[in-house]
Every structure is written in C-alpha cells, then in structure tokens.
A and B are shown apart, each in its own frame.
Chain A
Amino acid sequence: MVRRLRPRQLGIPDQIVRMRSAFPSFVMQWRCGRVKWRGSLQPTDLSSEYVTEVSYRVGQWPKVRIIDPQIAHRDGRPAPHRYADDSLCLFHPKRREWTPTMAIADTILPWASLWLYYYEVWLATGEWVGGGEHPRVKTQPPRSTA
C-alpha cells in the first residue's frame, strides 16, 4: 500500500481544470509540455484592465507577464518587484511560498492581481505599499522548482 507523505504535485491537467473553474475567461494553450493562459485582470474599479499571460511547465516556476498595457516607468524609474525579463516577482522562491502542489489559479493569479493594484498605487504616489523583499543582486528569473 502506498502512502503519500507529501501533498501531491499537481499536473498540468489539474492546473487547467482549476484555472477553468476559477478564471473562466482566461484562454488556455497547451503545447509541448508548456501551458499558457491569457486573460484580463482588473484589480479594482479604478484600475486599468491588464492583458496578463501566465505560463507554466512542470519543474519550473510559473511565470506572469503583463502584455498590455505595458508596465510603465515613474520619473524614469522602472516598476519594482520584477525580474530582468519583466515578469512579475510574486513570491519568494526559497521560502516555498509557491510549490507545485498549489493551484496557479489560487495563488499566482490572486498575487498578480494584487501586484497590479500596488503597481498602480506606486504609479500614483511613488510608494510601493505591498511590502516584499529586494534581493541584493539583480536576479535572473528562477528557472526551476528544484
């Protein structure tokens, strides 16, 4: 008899099912082991609508990019909490805030919406109110969940 000692890692089909029920307006594309969803996020009634793309491959971290409108600069400074490839820094990889046992729809998407809210407040006031950490060296996007 097999006993699970750890929560089960979710496969791409599990992620797709959960996304379809939680964010039904997001369009999915699944090719060569990589799944992509594209849809709109609008965190508040005052916010813009952001076309957002989430991509994921088992064994890597989910990646979130804002496609349209482009993330803007403020007084010549780029928006904080983004990786060098402009994807959003939504969680602390080493603290296991996200693991492959978690549904992207229940974690990554809510964080992305919240990120967009704090980004808009930052654009309006110059202050990032959402907390977070800045690594000492400029980071590359993390490649693997290993």
Chain B
Amino acid sequence: MSMLTVEIQPALSLLDDLLARICRALQLTPTQHALAESHYVSVGNWLGSGGSPLDRYDPMIYPQGSLAIGTTVRPLDRNEYDLDLVGQLEMGARDPVAVLNEVEARLRAHGVYGPMTERMNRCVRLNFAGNFHMDILPARRDPSLPGTCLLVPDRELRDWKPSNPKGYAAWFDARAAQGTSRKILRASIEPLPDHEPAHEKTALQLAVQLVKRWRDIYFASTPDLAPISIVLTTLAGQHYAGEPSPMEALSRVVSSILGALPPFGRLYVLNPMNPLEDLSEKWDDDPRRYPAFVSGLRMLDKDLAAIRGAHGIARAAEQLERLFGPVVPGVITEQARAIEKARRDERLGVTGTRAGALATSVGPSVIAVANNTFYGA
C-alpha cells in the first residue's frame, strides 16, 4: 500500500498533490521518455558501430541535465523539450572542432537521423519534431582528474573545459534524498497507476520543476533576463533542507536563497562539482539580469505565502495559475476526478476531528463516506 496511515497525516494535502500533478503535466510523458531513451541508445550504437570513424573511441551516450535528474519541463513557447546528452569518447587531446565535425558527419550519414541533424556551437542537435530535440555534447575523460570528470568543448570551441555531469547528478540525488520526501509523496491521492512519474518524485525534483516553470512564465516577455536552469537547479539543491512536501520545499528554497543574498554585489552560484566554475557568470553579461532575478524571487516568495494563506480552492487556483500557467484548471479537475473515483471505490473518508477534512486513509478518527447522490437543482 502506498497510502499513509492516519497517524502521520490524517488529511490529504490537496496543494501538494496539485503541485505534483502540475509537474506531471509539464514533464516528458512516459512514452516520450521511452522514445528518447531508445533514440539515444541507437544513436550511440550508430556512432560506435563498425564502419564508423568514431568506433575506435568506443562512444557512449547518456543523459545529463534535467533528463538525468528527472526535472524536465516543457518550454512555454513550443512543444519540444530540450534534452541534453553526453557523447563520451575515449580519446586523448584533440581539436574539439574536429571531434564535433566527426560526430556531425557520422550522424548525417544515418538514414533517419541524418535529416534531423543540426550543427550547434558546442554540440550536435537532433530534432525530433513535436517531441524534443537532443543535444549531444561530445566529451572525453579528463586525464588529470579521477572518476567521472570530463572535458567538453568550450563555448568558443578553441579548447576543452572541465565538466562532470554524472557527478552533478549524484550530488543532486543526494540533496534530494534528505528527509522522507519520497515516502510522503507516494501517499498522494489514489488512484494513480503505480508508476506515475510525478508521484514517485522527490520534493526537491518537484520544487526544481516548479521553479523552472515559474521562471518561464515570469520571464515570458523578457526571456533574455531569465536565470538559466542550471543556476535554479543548483540553488534549489543547495538550499533544500529535506522538507517532505513540495510546497514546503519550494517555499524553503525561495526564502533561503533570499536570505543568502549578499548585501553588495551579486550572488555567486558555483558548480558543486567544481567550485572554480561560476554557473551564474551570465549575470555579468547584462546588468539587468541579476536584479531581475532578485525581484522575481521576492515576488515568488510573496506569491507562495499568498497561496498558503488563500481562502478557497478558487482563490488558490488563480494564484497557482499566475505562477505556473494555464495548466492549472485542468489539473484541478483531474484531481477532483481522482477524489471522485476514490469515493466511488469507497476509499474516501473525512476526519471529524479536523473539520471534516477529506482523507484517503482509514483510521480511528476517519469516517468513511457512505454512498450518496447529490440531488436537487
């Protein structure tokens, strides 16, 4: 049973369940996830098969970024997700431009992937129209560092720079595993198939998806000023303190970042895997960016407080829609249908000692909802 016992949490949190459902509506569907996986596996095979000039480098493709840590969010303006992959090649020092050229040439020679191939500045992109595009970033092991440390083409492509996507994902997972988040989220409103992705997510993963979605909406008219995902994800991981509820996690992250802002200058968001790398260096490129981030975050902090104090689902729904977009009303209906299903399956109760709060778990103070028909005009 994935339901909580009444001793831990007698009433269900509609808000946390709603937030999890918002994330589920925004992330890759299980079908898209499986599709992406089968494609990157076959891309890896193509790069490494006999006849490929890259064969001798034993290429291996694996996800990095949001795909690796389970925080994908559909972009606001299009249907295609941005998926980032590492194409790891076992090679020594080489000109990164030449390596990119070889990867590109090999992909262009493929019957299916060829026409989808697009050369980008530091990666090769495959466009799967209507679903996602996959950015394959060539990488080689960093001979000077142990473990998962890699070198990837630098932005200007003249050299390689250090990167550690596997290390980052491990860091994020460890941050997310604080507290009891996974257990609590599994207690969401039944009925949900056992493997609903959003309901197996940790509170930190959901908080990251929510803050990215908020960013997309808040900066919709000024996308140039928006903080990049790696900055938001890293900040969330650093400031998360094990809250089991996604609402508490998000609220804590936002208020804790605000509390950590330096009185002068700007915040530095350093790569947890490489403290020499300033992930937030783009804030220096445009002096409007950092103040826009700070004032946006202050507003988010206030809006989250307003949601926690909202009177009534309709009022909360308006606030949530302002933060997370037009996905909200549909999610409220979906949730109500889940509650209605629980009622028809005789799994719904109310807690008399807590003002008749709805509950999907049974216990001494929970009264099962008997069969009834709302009648009358």
Contacts and interface: CB of A to CB of B under 8 A. Distances in A.
B264 interface: no
Interface string B305-326: 0000011111011000000000
Interface string A119-137: 0110111011111111100
Given A48-B312, A114-B343, A43 B376 contact: no
A59 interface: no
Given A43-B358, A129-B336, A129-B337, A114 B377 contact: no
Contacts of A48: 311-312
B11 A80 contact: no
A19 B376 CA distance: 26
B376 A42 contact: no
B313 A130 contact: no
A80 to B, nearest CB: 7
A45 to B, nearest CB: 5
Contacts of B314: 120, 123-124
A47 B373 contact: no
B35 interface: no
A84 B311 CA distance: 27
B14 interface: yes
Which residue, of A80, A120, A123, has the highest number of chain B Cβ atoms within 10 A? Answer: A120
Which residue, of B317, B369, B376, B377, has the highest number of chain A Cβ atoms within 10 A? Answer: B376
A115 B374 contact: yes
A107 B370 contact: yes
Interface stretch (A5-13, A28-36, A86-94): A86-94
A106 B350 CA distance: 9
Q: Do most interface residues of chain B lie in helix, strand or loop, or is the interface mixed?
A: mixed
Nearest to B377: A138
A41 to B, nearest CB: 4
B231 interface: no
Interface size range of chain B in the complex:
35 or more
Contacts of B339: 117, 129
Interface in B328-357: 329, 332-333, 336-337, 339-340, 343, 348-350, 352-357
Contact of A114 (B311, B316, B329, B358): B358
B352 A22 contact: yes
A82 B367 contact: no
Interface in A67-120: 80-84, 89-93, 95, 97-98, 102, 105-107, 109-115, 117-118, 120
Contacts of A44: 11-14, 313, 357-358
Contact of A135 (B11, B311, B357, B375): B375
Given A106-B367, A109-B352, A92 B373 contact: yes
A121 B376 CA distance: 18
A144 interface: no
Which residue, of A98, A113, A133, has the highest number of chain B Cβ atoms within 10 A? Answer: A113
Given A22-B352, A110-B350, A91 B311 contact: no
A43 B358 CA distance: 5
A46 interface: yes
B317 A124 contact: yes
Interface of B: 11-15, 18, 310-314, 316-317, 329, 332-333, 336-337, 339-340, 343, 348-350, 352-358, 367-377
Interface of A: 22-25, 39-49, 80-84, 89-93, 95, 97-98, 102, 105-107, 109-115, 117-118, 120-121, 123-125, 127-135, 138-139
Given A106-B367, A135-B377, 5 more contacts: A82-B377, A84-B377, A97-B371, A125-B329, A139-B376
18 contacts: A41-B355, A41-B356, A44-B358, A45-B14, A82-B377, A89-B375, A90-B372, A91-B372, A92-B372, A97-B371, A98-B372, A106-B370, A109-B350, A109-B367, A110-B349, A114-B369, A120-B312, A139-B376
